[in-house]
């Protein structure tokens, strides 16, 4: 459950504003997002308005829905991820992909997206644990 924001702090309002912006960019209604993270739509509305604080658990659920890292949500990345030149292994994978049928490529993409989502979720879970341990 979200905690009541006392005095509507600027930080709570900024998080709510960011949450609303991201939700709208992804064409989600409050009801849809609330259902996906397991809260009441009215609580989500109050979070977006800065009336409720977003709990760490709900924040990580929201990040999972938006497929974002914590640093991306708060805009604290110091530098954009650098792109490395393609390795020989990367080139080999690309050549093999080109040999696949459209259906085969689609299956590979689905698997890669699944694997990436799972690894991102594992990183978020680990980061959440570390935050809770450091905050205790």
Q: Are 55 and 2 in contact (CB under 8 A)?
A: yes
pLDDT digits (tens, 9 = 90+) for 50-106: 998 888 888 888 988 888 888 888 876 555 556 778 889 989 999 999 999 999 999
State pTM to two decimals.
0.54
Name the DSSP letter for residue 74.
H
What does residue 27 show for φ and ψ, rounded to 5 degrees? 55, 40
Angle between helices 30-37 and 56-66 (to 10 degrees): 110
Residue 110, both tokens = 């689905």
CA distances (Å), 18 to each of 37, 85, 91, 123, in order? 16, 34, 39, 22
């Amino acid at each position: 459950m979200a905690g009541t924001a006392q005095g509507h702090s600027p930080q709570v309002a900024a998080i709510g504003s960011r949450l609303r912006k991201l939700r709208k960019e992804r064409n989600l209604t409050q009801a849809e997002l609330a259902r996906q993270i397991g809260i009441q739509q009215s609580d989500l509305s109050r979070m977006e308005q800065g009336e409720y604080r977003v709990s760490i658990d709900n924040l990580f659920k929201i990040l999972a829905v938006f497929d974002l890292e914590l640093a991306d949500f708060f805009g604290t990345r110091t530098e954009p991820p650098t792109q490395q030149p393609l390795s020989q292994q990367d080139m080999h994978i690309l050549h093999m992909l080109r040999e696949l049928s459209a259906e085969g490529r689609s299956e590979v993409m689905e698997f890669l997206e699944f694997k990436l989502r799972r690894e991102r979720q594992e990183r978020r879970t680990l980061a959440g644990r570390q935050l809770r341990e450091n905050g205790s």
